Amino acid sequence: MSATSSPSESATVSRKKKGGKKEIQESLLTPRFYTTDFDEMEQLFNTEINKNLSMAEFEALLQEFKTDFNQTHFVRNKEFKEAADKLQGPLRQIFVEFLERSCTAEFSGFLLYKELGRRLKKTNPVVAEIFSLMSRDEARHAGFLNKGLSDFNLALDLGFLTKARKYTFFKPKFIFYATYLSEKIGYWRYITIYRHLKENPEYQCYPIFKYFENWCQDENRHGDFFSALMKAQPQFLNDWQAKLWSRFFCLSVYVTMYLNDCQRTAFYEGIGLDTKEFDMHVIIETLSKHISINPLKKANKRNRTTARIFPAVLDVENPEFKRKLDRMVEINQQLIAVGETEDIPFVKNLKRIPLIAALASEILAAYLMKPVESGSVDLAEFEPQLVY
C-alpha cells in the first residue's frame, strides 16, 4: 500500500516497520500468491511425453483468448470518483478493503499465469501463450481495481507486493484444482453481484459493478481452460486420491470464502446482499454448474455427465453442510475475539487451543460428509464451451 492516504483509510495490506521497512500482514484468510514446480509443469505439457494433450483444442482456446473480447471494456469515466466521494464512514472503509483484496487476488493470478507463460514457452508454445493471455486479463482486472483505489486516494504498490509477499507452494495438480475452482467461483461471484445490482439499482453505489458482466466472462474462460488442462491430465482425476483431494480443495476454498465473507458482512449488506445467502448461492452454483460447463445452452443429460471434471464433490445442498459452515463462523468469531483481548500472548494461545480443535473437528466432519460421486469422467467427449 503506497502511503497516499491517511493511516485510518489505509486497510490491511502493508504497514511500516520501525526501521522504515514495510512488512506484510499475512493471515490464513488473505488472498495468497502461488508458486509451483515449474519443471513438473514442463513435463506435463510436453507433447512428446503426454499423449493426452489435445493440441487442436488448445489451439481453439488460444484463438478465443487472442480475440480479446474485453479489450475495450475496462474504460473508466467520471462516475467513479463522484461515487467514491459519496461513500463515507464505515462503508467507505469496507469498500477500500474490498478493492484491495480483489486487486491482490487478481494480481496473484497475473503473477502465476505470467510465470507459467514464460516457463512453458519452449515445451508447449500454445499453452504458454494462453497463460500469457490470461495474465494479460488478470493484469487488466488488477489494474482496474487499483485505479478504483485511486478514487479513494489510495494505490496498492504491486511491485512491492510481488517482492515482499510470501508465496504458497502447490504441486501442479493442486494448482489445477485450486485455480480451476477459484476462476469458476470468481465467475459466479461477479455475475451474481452484477445481476443483483441490475435488479436493485438503488444499491449500485460504485460503478465498478457495472463492469462485472463482461469481466466475469474472462474468469469463465480461464476456468474452461483449466478444465481442458485437467482433461489432458487424467491421472489427476481418475483415482481414489483424486476423489479425496478434489473434495478437500472444494472444502478448503469454500470454508475460506465463507469465513472471509462473514467477517465482512457490512460490505455485502452495503450492496443489498445477505452475505450467507450470497455465498451459498455461489457455492451451489459453482458445484452444480461446474458439472454443466455451458448451463445456458441446451445441456442434455449426456453433456452434463461427460462434463464432470472433479470425480467427487461435496454435498453442498445438504442443509447440514451449511449448518457446519455456520458453526465454523461462530468459532472463528470467538477466535478473533480472543485475538482482540488484552491478554498476554501465552494466555491467548491457551484460549485458542480448544477453539482451533473445535474448528478442525467441524472441518473434518464436513469433509467426511457423504460426497456426491461425479462418476467416471468420459474425457474424450468433454467439450468446454463458453457461457455468453
Residues near Fe ion (CB under 5 A): 106, 138, 141, 183, 219, 222
Task: State whether residue 24 is helix, strand or coil.
Answer: strand
Residue type, 209: F
CA distance 187 to 367: 24
**Pick from 38, 16, 177, 182: which is nearest to 108 by CA?**
182
Cell 469433509, located at residue: 367
- 22 forms beta bridges with 16
- Residue closer to Fe ion, measured from CB, 107 or 267: 107
CB of 184: closest distance to Fe ion in angstroms?
10
The residue type found at 352 is: R
Q: How far is the CB of 52 from Fe ion (least distance, A)?
A: 24
Q: What residues does 24 pair with on adjacent strands?
A: 14
- How far apart are alpha carbons 215 and 380 in whole angstroms? 30
CB of 172 to Fe ion, least distance (A): 18
- Non-local (6+) Cβ contacts of 195 within 8 A are none
Nearest CB to Fe ion, comparing residues 14 and 108: 108
Of 68 and 330, the one with the shorter C-beta distance to Fe ion is 68
- Whose Cβ is closer to Fe ion: residue 139's or residue 377's? 139
Q: Are strands 22-24 and 33-35 parallel, antiparallel or unpaired?
A: unpaired
Residue number, 42 or 183, with CB nearest to Fe ion = 183
The least CB distance from residue 12 to Fe ion, in Å, is 20
Minimum gap (Å) between residue 222 Cβ and Fe ion: 4
Shortest gap between Cβ of 137 and Fe ion (angstroms)? 6
Q: Which is nearer to Fe ion, 191 or 377 (CB)?
A: 191
* CA nearest to 217, candidates 64, 37, 59: 64
Phi, psi (deg, nearest 5) at residue 361: -75, -30
Minimum Å distance from CB 183 to Fe ion? 5
Is 16 buried (19+), middle (13-18) or exposed (0-12) by CB count in 10 A? exposed
Write the CB contacts of 296 (distance below 8 Å, at least 6 apart in sequence): 387, 388
Nearer to Fe ion, 31 or 207 (CB): 31
